[in-house]
Amino acid sequence: AFSFTPFFHPSTPVSSCKMLAVHFDKLGGPENLYVKEVTKPSLGEGEVLLRVVVSALNHADFLQTGQYSLPPEASNIATFWASRHMAKLGPGCQGHWKIGDAAMALPPGGGQAQYVTVPEGLLVPIPEGLTLPQAAAIPEASWLTTFQLLRYMGGVQDGETMLIHASMGGVGTAVIQPTRLFNAVPTGDHELQGEHSNGTEAERLGAAAGFDYKKEGFSEGALKATQGVCVGVNAILDCIDGSYWEKNLHCLAADGSLWGSLLRSRDQKYKEMLVKTFMEQVLAHFSPGSAVQLQPVIDKVFTMAEIQKAHFHMEANQNVVRIILEMP
């Protein structure tokens, strides 16, 4: 248990040149996070200023305050992505966006703040039918990282089977669903909790099989799930750590592949290419009526003042899928 009084309460009026942001001054755990009044970011060439409505957390946010390696342009304002409204256009913008437009974004950092600047090429329109919290769950560590793996790195083929570790996490749920766009067969392991303890959630999202790795070894579960298809899975997505190496090899088919990747360290040109291709090939599937319907899954919504509580919730692995943070 813990108590938290933010350094600057989110309900306090803020001057026009200032904003509230989640901040940390030293490395460590969630106890080092607090809300602080800071200066609004200034616009650079080809950038837009966005008014953040909701943002999403992932484990890299927690690691950012500890050992995560930051890109040089990142700030010590957490985090990565958000759903927001266009507040101001900088010099050199190409005119695709206008003031007041709603968008998802892929900033290098600083997303847990009331305003953030983002290169115009890293903005994504919000699909019809999605709420802003759902939209916040899409960029970077979930859907864009997934698309990068499936489309550019893994090259998954029709009928191939995949084992997805932590399949009920933000990345895991985002892998299960678009895998069906490539006609592949996803399976997933997870530590089931609460209302998800019957194991049907991964299957509801499209997995051919889902199993609790604490009750059934994932190697055995994957081999059982692929009986009659192949001996082992064709690909494994392991965003956990290297401790699964031997067990991964045990359930990997001949010529199978083991995947793991980061998107945040990629340069802006690569990210803009990825965002463009994602919009062309995937974005429409989030809207109603798509043959393969994609849906961001949300665990819980916290307010900005509850930032420590949100990170402790994530650190304890109490969340299933994505945690959302609301801005004042």
Residues 108 and 147 in one domain: no
Using only C-alpha atoms, the chain has a radius of gyration, in whole angstroms, of: 20
Grouping H, G, I as helix, E, B as strand and the rest as coil, residue 45 is coil
pLDDT (0 to 100) of residue 145? 80
Residues 3 and 111 in one domain: yes
User: Is residue 225 over pLDDT 80?
Assistant: no
Residues 168 and 96 in one domain: no
> Considering the domain boundaries, does residue 113 fall inside one?
yes
pLDDT (0 to 100) of residue 243? 66
Q: Give, as one character, the DSSP assignment of residue 129.
A: T
Residues 110 and 5 in one domain: yes
Q: Which of 242, 259, 276 is the last residue of a domain?
A: 259
Q: Can you give the CATH number for the domain in which 312 is found? A: 3.90.180.10
Which run of H or of E encompasses 257? strand 252-259
> Considering the domain boundaries, does residue 130 fall inside one?
no
Q: CB count, 10 Å around CB of 217?
A: 15
Residues 168 and 57 in one domain: no
Residues 147 and 250 in one domain: yes
pLDDT (0 to 100) of residue 4? 38
Q: Which of 259, 286, 305 is the last residue of a domain?
A: 259
Amino acid at 199: G
pLDDT tens per residue across span 20-71: 998 888 777 788 889 999 999 999 999 999 999 888 886 655 555 544 444 5
> Considering the domain boundaries, does residue 264 fall inside one?
no
pLDDT (0 to 100) of residue 35? 93
Using a cut of 0.85, tell me whether the model's pTM lies above it. Answer: no
* Residue 32: domain span: 1-67+74-120+297-328
Q: 218 with 251: CB under 8 angstroms?
A: yes
Share of the chain above pLDDT 70, in %: 74
> Considering the domain boundaries, does residue 291 fall inside one?
no
Nearest one of 160, 168, 170, 159 to 189, comparing CA atoms: 168
> Considering the domain boundaries, does residue 268 fall inside one?
no
CA distance 179 to 160: 10
User: Is residue 235 over pLDDT 70?
Assistant: yes
User: Among 41-50, 134-143, 190-199, which range has the highest average pLDDT?
Assistant: 41-50
Residues 81 and 171 in one domain: no
pLDDT (0 to 100) of residue 46? 92
Residues 209 and 245 in one domain: yes
- pLDDT higher at 154 or 56: 56
Residues 188 and 88 in one domain: no
> Considering the domain boundaries, does residue 156 fall inside one?
yes
Alpha carbon of residue 91 to chain centroid: 29
Report the pLDDT averaged over residues 209-224: 74
Residues 150 and 217 in one domain: yes
> Considering the domain boundaries, does residue 49 fall inside one?
yes
User: Is residue 10 over pLDDT 60?
Assistant: no
Q: Which of 232, 259, 286 is the last residue of a domain?
A: 259
How many domains in the chain? 2
pLDDT (0 to 100) of residue 60? 59
Q: Can you give the CATH number for the domain in which 186 is found? A: 3.40.50.720
pLDDT tens per residue across span 256-315: 888 766 677 788 899 899 999 999 988 999 998 888 888 888 888 999 999 999 888 887
Residues 204 and 92 in one domain: no
pLDDT tens per residue across span 173-183: 777 888 877 77
Residues 93 and 36 in one domain: yes
User: Is residue 196 over pLDDT 50?
Assistant: no
Report the pLDDT averaged over residues 76-84: 56
> Considering the domain boundaries, does residue 193 fall inside one?
yes
| Cβ-based neighbours of 146, under 8 Å, separated by 6 or more | 171, 174, 175, 178
